[in-house]
Amino acid sequence: MKIIRDHTDIEEGLRALTVLDPRLAAIIDISGSVPLRLNEPGFPGLASIVVSQMVSRASADAIWKRITVAGPISAAGYAALDPAVIATFGLSGAKARTLLHLSTAISEGRFDLEAVIALETAEAIRAMTALPGIGPWTAEVYLMFCGGHVDIFPTGDVALQAAVGHAFAMESRPSAKNLGVMAEMWSPWRSVAARLFWAYYAVQMRRNVTPIV
d(CA 33, CA 42): 27
| Average pLDDT over all residues of the chain | 94
Q: What is the DSSP letter of 173?
A: P
The length of the chain is: 213
Q: What would the pLDDT profile of 169-202 be if each residue is shown by its tens digit?
A: 999 999 999 999 999 999 999 999 999 999 999 9
Judged by average pLDDT, the poorest of 79-93, 158-172, 178-192, 194-208 is 194-208
- CA 72 to CA 121: how far, in whole Å? 30
CATH number of the 43-145 domain:
1.10.340.30
pLDDT over 80 (residue 123): yes
Residue 28 in 3-state DSSP?
helix
**Over the stretch 24-66, which tens digit does the pLDDT of each residue have?**
999 999 999 999 999 999 999 999 999 988 788 889 999 999 9
Helix extents (H) in the chain: 7-20, 24-31, 43-52, 57-69, 75-79, 83-86, 93-107, 121-129, 136-145, 158-167, 176-183, 190-205
Q: Which residue ranges does the chain devote to CATH 1.10.1670.40? A: 7-38+151-205
At residue 213, does pLDDT exceed 70? no
| pTM score of the predicted model | 0.93
The span from the CA of 42 to the CA of 47, in Å, is 9
Class of domain 7-38+151-205 as given by CATH: mainly alpha
